[in-house]
């Protein structure tokens, strides 16, 4: 039996997904505060085009006027997660683990390391070497190669009393042109990539979700 319940929200606008995970977060936190047994939940979804900026992010990393985003049908949200600005959209697996880390006896740093490990193991299934980059949360390809470093997965979380929300955004068949509207995660000297771009062909999105779910079950038993 899994230590969390899995929920695939499908294609969903950001505001609706935020509401779902916030309710799960508050319910789990409330149960913990009152000594009850809450439910760990893992949400996967695929967003309509949206830019989100974390609490430590800088608006200057949005490279076009906010009113132009509306014209292009792109939503824009300031959020309470860590990290700077990033893009979510179709073809990207966005994951929101609402976990009580004490269930796994994890600190926040270990948790983020484990999230990165899930993605690194996922990429290895496709023959891709995902790596960490010191001081830059997420998963990268060729992180130390000048002019070649590119991020395939962004990570940004919020936690309270070791209960987490927000999570990761993994580019599978993502339209990477949207990233030209921002300095992704605040970087100006590093690129972004997707599984599709790395492998030169569109990938089976449902298969990728299933593989990722299985890896979460392995690393969060």
Residue 63 is encoded by which pair of tokens? 């490279």
Q: Annotated binding residue at 178?
A: no
Beta bridge partners of 87: 51
Residue 202 is encoded by which pair of tokens? 């569109």
Distance separating alpha carbons of residues 98 and 27, to the nearest angstrom: 10
Q: Annotated binding residue at 54?
A: no
Q: Annotated binding residue at 169?
A: yes
Q: Annotated binding residue at 25?
A: no
Nearest CA to 101 among 25, 8, 177?
A: 25
Q: Annotated binding residue at 155?
A: yes
Q: Annotated binding residue at 31?
A: no
Q: Annotated binding residue at 167?
A: yes
45 among known catalytic residues: no
| Dihedral sign computed on CA atoms, order 122, 221, 46, 132 | negative
Beta bridge partners of 41: 5, 98
| Catalytic option among 163, 185, 192, 195 | 185
Residue 195 is encoded by which pair of tokens? 């599984």
Annotated binding site for substrate: 81-88, 154-156, 167-169
Residues forming the active site: 185
Annotated binding site: 81-88, 154-156, 167-169
């Amino acid at each position: 039996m899994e230590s969390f319940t899995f929920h695939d929200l499908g294609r969903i606008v950001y505001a609706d997904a935020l509401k779902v995970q916030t309710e799960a977060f508050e319910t789990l936190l409330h149960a913990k505060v009152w000594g009850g047994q809450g439910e760990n939940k893992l949400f996967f979804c695929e967003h309509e085009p949206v830019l989100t900026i974390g609490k430590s992010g800088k608006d200057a990393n949005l490279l076009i006027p906010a009113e132009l985003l509306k014209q292009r049908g792109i939503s824009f949200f300031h959020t309470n997660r860590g990290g700077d600005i990033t893009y979510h959209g179709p073809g990207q697996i966005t994951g929101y683990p609402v976990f009580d880390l004490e269930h796994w006896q994890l600190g926040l740093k270990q948790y983020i390391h484990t999230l990165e490990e899930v993605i690194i193991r996922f990429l290895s299934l496709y023959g891709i070497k995902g790596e960490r980059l010191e001081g830059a949360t997420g998963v990268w390809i060729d992180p130390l190669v000048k002019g070649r470093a590119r991020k395939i997965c962004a990570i940004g979380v919020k936690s309270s009393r070791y209960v987490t929300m927000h999570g990761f955004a993994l580019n599978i068949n993502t339209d990477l042109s949207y990233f030209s509207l921002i300095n992704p995660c605040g970087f100006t000297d590093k690129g972004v990539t997707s599984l599709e771009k790395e492998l030169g062909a569109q990938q089976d999105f449902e298969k990728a979700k299933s593989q990722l779910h299985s890896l979460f079950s392995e690393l969060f038993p």
